[in-house]
Amino acid sequence: MARMIYHVPYPLNPHAKTGSGLRPMRMLEAFRDIGYDVELVSGESRERRVLIKALKKRIAAGESFDFLYSESHTMPTALTDADHLPRHPFMDVMFLRFARRNGIKVGLFYRDVYWRFPEYKQRLNPVVHTATRALYHLDLVAYNAAVDTLYLPSLDMGKFVPHVPASRHKALPPGGDIVDAPSTEKDGVHLLYVGGLGGYYNMHGCVQAVAASKNAWLTICTREDEWEQNAHEYRGLMNDRIQVVHKSGSELVPYYEQADICMLFIEPSIYRSFAAPIKFAEYIGFGKPVIVNDGTNVAQFVGAHGNGWAVPFEPAGLTALLDDLAGHPEKIAAVTTKVLQLQEDNTWTARARQVASDLSPATSA
């Protein structure tokens, strides 16, 4: 049986609902689904220390593994314990380096570089900001010696990732699950947005465009606390064709069935130019076309694969598109057919197979 090591420097959460918690669980499940016997290294640093010590002995004694795959945290590796104390700051990267020196190829998914942007500095005490930035840099310096392949949500993110050369970068965007959720017949065009509000998730232009349209309906599904924090910015822009709900998991299925098109029409930024939202892959999994705005990583995907419409970030232009689509449902049907053709290549198991191919080319899993 094919065997691998799956390492994360934190406890896994089987009930995670956000992308940063959901992704490592889904990748673990995907490796098992494609036939790997997975040796899991996770938990608080004390737990990982015991597991790492035992694995090192087994590897030194000749036990073989096809490869090691790791997923970073959004915070520096040294601080991932619940109380953020750096008990074993070098333990994890030294384990990755040990595996690599013993002939086990190592791939690590590097989640985010928000710490390199001004908003990160604004949120923190200057002393904390200086210390954490130093630790982020230290992680990447260490990865340069410990990792064969640095996986990123998109290759464009690599422009902001120091210390590890671009020749070792590979894109590993989120995957999704294939769910049969055909749209129900109804008047107009029905839209669905699933995700955050506030900060990088500015939906004002989308809401304005839908409110100005003749026959478009929008459902925004976001966490209740985020809606409460931002509702005052949106209520004056909304009309009775726009609703806000707070659902997750299987509760979302009826809303996907109601939707003709999903939305990622969000104010562009440098961050958006490389971000790979987990909901974009979910939209594909549900077989839904997507409307995105130019200047984003997802717009590049849409341009290359035809699974939606990429338009300038102008509410009037979006309104015109929605009015055209509401009057020509055959256009939506044609793009939906293209989305369905993309589903198999954008699942979590497809991502796991990519890693297995990259790091263990001889494996037939």
At 361, is the pLDDT very low, low, confident or very high (cuts 50, 70, 90)? low
For 151, counting Cβ atoms within 10 Å of its Cβ (0-12 exposed, 13-18 middle, 19+ buried), the class is buried
Report pLDDT for 18.
73
Give me the percent of the chain exceeding a pLDDT of 70: 98
Q: What is the pLDDT of residue 362?
A: 62
Contacts 24+ apart (CB under 8 A), 45-52: 45/9, 45/80, 45/81, 45/87, 45/88, 45/91, 46/87, 47/11, 48/9, 48/88, 48/91, 48/92, 49/88, 49/91, 52/91, 52/92, 52/95
Q: Which domains does the chain have, with CATH numbers?
A: 3-175+347-359 (3.40.50.2000), 189-345 (3.40.50.2000)
Rama region for 170: left / alpha / beta (φ>0; ψ in -120 to 50; rest): beta
Give percent above pLDDT 90 in the chain. Answer: 82
Confidence label for 138 from pLDDT (cuts 50, 70 and 90): very high
How far does the chain reach from its first CA to its final CA, in angstroms?
Answer: 9
pLDDT above 90 (res 281): yes
Structure tokens at 138: 């230290």
Q: With 90 as the cut, is the pLDDT of residue 135 above it? A: yes
Identify the pLDDT of residue 365.
42
Q: What is the mean pLDDT of the chain?
A: 93
- What predicted TM-score, i.e. pTM, was given to this entire model? 0.92
CA-closest candidate to residue 153, choices 249, 25, 19, 287: 19
Distance of CA 27 to the CA centre of its chain: 11
Mean pLDDT score, 90-103: 97
Q: Which amino acid is at 249?
A: G
pLDDT tens digit string along 145-187? 999 999 999 999 999 999 999 999 999 999 999 999 887 778 8
Taking the C-alpha atoms of residue 258 and residue 52, their distance in angstroms, rounded to an integer, is: 48
Measured CA distances, 105 to 68, 148, 258, 321 (Å): 6, 6, 45, 48
Q: What pLDDT shows up at residue 119?
A: 79
Beta bridge partners of 221: 194, 245
Tokens for 222, please give them: 């976001």
